[in-house]
Structure 1
Amino acid sequence: MDPKLTYLLHSNCAPTVTQTLEIRRLLESSEVSQLRDLAVHPDELPGLLRYLRGTLSLIRTFPAELLSQVFIFCRDNSHALRYSTIDPREAPMILGHVCRHWRSVAYSTPRLWDTVSLSNFASPDLPLDPSIVHDILAHSRDLPLELSLAYEMKPESLSDAFAYFDTLWASHERLRTLTLNLSNTKSNILPCGKVFHVLSSIDIKINYPYSETLDNWENMHYATLSDTLEGFSSAPALRSLRLEADFTPEDILIPTLPWSQLTHLELFTHAEYNLGRDIIIECPALEEVALGYYFGPGAELPLHTHYLRTLSLDMFGEGPDVVLLAFVLPRLESLTLRTEVPVHAMSALVALYERSRFSLVHLELGMDLPPEDVGLLLRIFCSLRTLSISGGHSITNRHFTLFNIPSRPIRHPRLQSLTIGLLTFDLDGAVVAEMAETLAPGAARIDAPFPALRELRLPRAAPEHMRPVFSEDVEARLETLRATGFLDDSIESW
């Protein structure tokens, strides 16, 4: 056999035009006499022909630049971004195990390694070897890094954990985004005294252990939110901060953190409203805020957030009215409010809408809202583009008949998307179908109550025993609206 063809069998090089014609001739040959030139044992002939057929694969003709883009696509669609980049069963690690050419292209593509996810949660059998992490960081060259770390300290691996974290923080100058999910973690494994020149986003979640009975943990100092934030005092590019903890935090308003730079803030901790209020006061440039698990009275001072466009509140306690009345938001565009105690919610919402200079266009309410309040909301909030109302299992037939009253129809000229749910077993299917048909867009209906509406979402409850069962006639009417793309009543759990 031609030595050049033998070379192709041991490499990933693409055959030339002449070699391609020769290989196709051999593969299409039906006479054994024509294959004698291959000089192989008859038993080895099928395997050899299979390898020759592989040399014609189009992947061999891919330029290295195009192959690297395919590798990046594989990385972005693998489980590695959610679990562990060092998993040999997922991209990018598995790409280097195919052949020498693929390994060379993979290791020469820095963008393939600039997003790193490391965890000992989902893959406890995969050791977090500092040398492997060092190699991964080296492959990314000088690109900014997006690092996601989920780590649980174990008594038997404390020394390995310290070496592992030292390897990570050696690249602190290149960190652009950092996600930390820490459990049972000592504070001294976190970065201290480092300068994060390009760090723009931090997402921190800390869980305290449920049991502290082990003798190995008796003298352990667990990481706190303030301990963690102290490590990021030198971050001139920091713009986004998210904090989540399953405990009541200590005073996290440390003076060394650059609060005034933040434009995006999320706080999900068991803390009183006053703590969130004080933090917001220190962040005059905020554009997006999400507060969760806040409770108790407060709001002695008004919150003048002149640049805030998006506000999300997940409230427990004395109701949202106290908090809503504290905000002065002249540029508010999107509001999400979830609460179990909607005391005076509508009056507070109306007051907030007036203070926002009628700029609100996206509203999502997760609360028990009576049909009368829904009608009032649609009549007053004239600037809305999207509206979502989810009251758990409190959505009744009256919420749908509200749209079917011909004598006093509700009209809204700008609303484009409406969501009402969840649909449960005690709803009348005919009422739901009539409401959906009333709101469906029609080119000939110049007097349509919702002329701009293009999407109606009526999600059904996920538990089968709670899911509504409509008649065949109702389902046929709804299917007509589904086919147009106007109605979405798929199963959803909230």
Structure 2
Amino acid sequence: MVSPFTQHLGTNYCPLDDEVLEIRSLLAEPTRQLLVLDEEISQLQKSIEKLTEKRKTLSGYIEEHRALISPIRRIPQDVLSEIFFACLPTHRNCVMTTSEAPLLLGRVCSSWRTLSLSTPRLWASLHITQPGGSGASNESITQRFEAMKMWLRRSGQCPLSISVYTSYMHRSREAPMSTQARPLPVDLFLKELSFHAKRWQHVSFSTTSAAFKALAHLSAADVPILESITARLPPPCPPHEVTEWTQFGMFSGPRISKFLTSASCFSPSIPLRWHLLTRLEIVGSIWESCVDSEGALEVLIRCPQLQRFKLTAKGTADPVPLRHPPVELPHLRSLELDVGPHSHLLSHLRTPGLRRFVLRGPVESLPSFLSLCPHLEKLDVGSYLTKSSLLESLRVLSPALRSLVLRGHAPPPDDAPMVPFDDEALAALGRRSCCPLLEEFTLIATHTISDQALRQFVETRMTMTDDVGASSLKQVRVLFHRPMDLDIKTGLKPFLDAGLNIETVYTFKSQALFSPWSGVADAPRRSMVPVYHAAPSHWYD
């Protein structure tokens, strides 16, 4: 539409009085046309609404009849039960929540609910959290307790996998007096579970020492099919009130082969059938651990069938080597150690079949230990080593090694010692004679490796495929505690196109920036603390 005021449209122009009259006259006809269009649109919208309602009715009719012939309705009950079972979590026990199977399955329809309730093995796995803390009341604890009993009834006679977590702050000081009058016992859940002990297959208890005593009456005969048991109890408080493990006869179960416990409460007096163990974990804070190298060797010598061992051992002030004879573990395949200063544990272990080794802490005998592990495939080291010890360790690495993880530390302000993995060590790892089958390399927290050296390392390893029996790298991950010097992927495109995955993360101290608020009383506060970022979570999988 042509307008004599086109040049003024969209501007701040203020028309004169005679121009205002002209504009009003100009808008009379467009305003009438607009009203006509609005009326036509209204009529069309009413027609669309009628058609939409007809479509909704017809669509509902079709969908309701299609639902009758849905394939899911024709699946046999036994097959549907298998599908239900596949919905359960595999990495932990089932949680009492309607957002997960099996409770979620019963909320779909009445037939699914009937089937789920009549399939006992869906209810043979359970994680129990005993309510505690400021939100706990007798009513909430009773509700959870009754739900647990109902869950166990649904499991029929199936072997049970149970995990229990009890809050250490069982009763709140802020709770109303009505909930404090007759508090429920802390061992309420464990007492009920003990009635089903003959069906225990895998059990885990993270609870208080007082609650755990509810299981003291169980004997080996009461747990005939128990295969694994976890007992994580808090440190003794006061320290002299240690757990009397000898009174727990259930640890002598005839089929127990896996035992996991806290390093703060472990005792070699636990009445396990040690010679049957294939997996043993004694873990926790190194500062609270009550296990030293000597005690660990005394335990290991009783476990000739051990296949997996994980230990947190305290250090000693005495650097004198142990006098304990070497311990032979011919079946050990996985070893994880977190040790304190002056630990001589490695020098007393013989693990010829070891496949996976994880080490944390200062160890001086690493090269000699690695030289006795000819079949090692995965190595994860995060400890303080001398330069010579590190180079010697790289030299004696198993030719079967496929995965190597080296963990350094963010450089502290005082430049404390750290794993001295630098360009020279990286070049040593790049030699053709070193780890010819290496496929995965991860270096976490380093500022001593140059980008150029890393690129050269990748190029060298990727060209080793020309050697008979050698493998090329498939994955490289490096976390730098410094800015980037150059993009190492430049020049590596042929290898990246061939499937090589390279992940590099560069982090460094936060810098204090100029602020226009400087000197102003209400200036926003800025962090001046050096900040380092951790490696992405998937690097630790």
Match of 2:149 in 1: 134
Q: How does 1:331-370 map to 2 (within 5 A)?
A: 331-339=353-361, 341-342=362-363, 345=364, 348-353=365-370, 358-369=374-385
Q: Is the 8 A contact 1:302 1:327 kept in 2?
A: no
Q: 1:230 aligns with which of 248, 270, 287?
A: 248
Q: Is the 8 A contact 2:367 2:389 kept in 1?
A: no
Question: How many equivalent pairs are there?
Answer: 419
Shift of 1:277: 2.3
Give the secondary structure class of the aligned counterpart of 2:406.
strand
Match of 1:475 in 2: 489
Give the aligned residue type for 2:86: F
Give the secondary structure class of the aligned counterpart of 1:284.
coil
Residues of 2 paired with 1:236 and 1:367: CA distance? 39
Shift of 1:162: 3.7
Match of 1:152 in 2: 167
Q: Is the 8 A contact 2:190 2:212 kept in 1?
A: no
Shift of 1:140: 2.3
Unaligned runs of 5+ in 1: 1-40, 213-220
Indicate yes or no: 2:315 matched with 1:300: no
Change (3 A) 1:397 1:306: closer
Give the aligned residue type for 1:151: T
Q: 2:226 aligns with which of 195, 199, 203?
A: 199
Q: How does 1:40-119 map to 2 (within 5 A)?
A: 50-76=63-89, 81=92, 85-119=95-129
Match of 1:290 in 2: 310
Residues of 1 paired with 2:166 and 2:241: CA distance? 12
Shift of 1:290: 1.7
Q: 1:273 aligns with which of 289, 293, 301?
A: 293
Residues of 2 paired with 1:121 and 1:312: CA distance? 33
Shift of 1:224: 5.4
Q: Is the 8 A contact 1:441 1:454 kept in 2?
A: no
Greater Cα offset, 86-95 or 160-169: 160-169
Indicate yes or no: 2:467 matched with 1:446: yes
TM-score by length of 2: 0.67
Change (3 A) 1:178 1:479: farther
Match of 2:268 in 1: 253
Quick check: which has more Rg, 1 or 2?
A: 2
Match of 2:498 in 1: 484
Shift of 1:238: 0.5
Compute the RMSD of aligned alpha carbons. 3.8
Q: 2:426 aligns with which of 389, 395, 400?
A: 400
Change (3 A) 1:161 1:94: farther
Match of 2:405 in 1: 388
Q: Is the 8 A contact 1:308 1:331 kept in 2?
A: yes
Residues of 2 paired with 1:382 and 1:352: CA distance? 11
Shift of 1:299: 2.8
> In the TM superposition, what whole-angstrom CA distance separates every residue of 1:168-192 from its partner, at most 9, and x where no partner exists?
1211111111111114743433352
Match of 2:22 in 1: none
Give the secondary structure class of the aligned counterpart of 1:435.
helix
Give the aligned residue type for 1:400: L
Give the secondary structure class of the aligned counterpart of 2:207.
strand
Residues of 1 paired with 2:116 and 2:406: CA distance? 48
Residues of 2 paired with 1:208 and 1:369: CA distance? 31
Unaligned runs of 5+ in 2: 1-53, 172-179, 411-418, 505-534
Residues of 1 paired with 2:216 and 2:113: CA distance? 33
Give the aligned residue type for 1:190: L
Residues of 2 paired with 1:381 and 1:317: CA distance? 24
Shift of 1:93: 0.9
Q: Is the 8 A contact 1:293 1:316 kept in 2?
A: yes
Residues of 2 paired with 1:315 and 1:169: CA distance? 36
Q: Is the 8 A contact 2:308 2:335 kept in 1?
A: yes
Residues of 2 paired with 1:295 and 1:110: CA distance? 48
Shift of 1:102: 0.2
Residues of 2 paired with 1:403 and 1:233: CA distance? 46
Indicate yes or no: 2:268 matched with 1:243: no
Residues of 1 paired with 2:384 and 2:492: CA distance? 26
Give the secondary structure class of the aligned counterpart of 2:73.
helix
Residues of 2 paired with 1:266 and 1:368: CA distance? 24
Change (3 A) 1:333 1:77: closer
Q: Is the 8 A contact 2:236 2:243 kept in 1?
A: no
Indicate yes or no: 2:202 matched with 1:177: yes
Shift of 1:209: 9.5
Give the secondary structure class of the aligned counterpart of 1:430.
helix
Change (3 A) 1:224 1:107: farther
Shift of 1:61: 2.2
Residues of 1 paired with 2:391 and 2:131: CA distance? 48
Change (3 A) 1:373 1:54: same
Give the aligned residue type for 2:424: R
Give the aligned residue type for 1:164: F
Give the aligned residue type for 2:437: L
Q: Is the 8 A contact 1:335 1:360 kept in 2?
A: yes
Shift of 1:205: 1.5
Q: Is the 8 A contact 2:257 2:279 kept in 1?
A: yes
Greater Cα offset, 367-376 or 118-127: 118-127
Residues of 2 paired with 1:139 and 1:292: CA distance? 39
Match of 2:531 in 1: none
Give the secondary structure class of the aligned counterpart of 1:186.
helix
Give the aligned residue type for 1:58: P
Residues of 1 paired with 2:502 and 2:132: CA distance? 34
Indicate yes or no: 2:316 matched with 1:316: no
TM-score by length of 1: 0.72
Give the secondary structure class of the aligned counterpart of 1:86.
coil
Change (3 A) 1:488 1:413: same
Shift of 1:235: 0.5
Q: Is the 8 A contact 2:352 2:372 kept in 1?
A: yes
Q: Is the 8 A contact 1:88 1:94 kept in 2?
A: yes
Give the secondary structure class of the aligned counterpart of 2:296.
helix
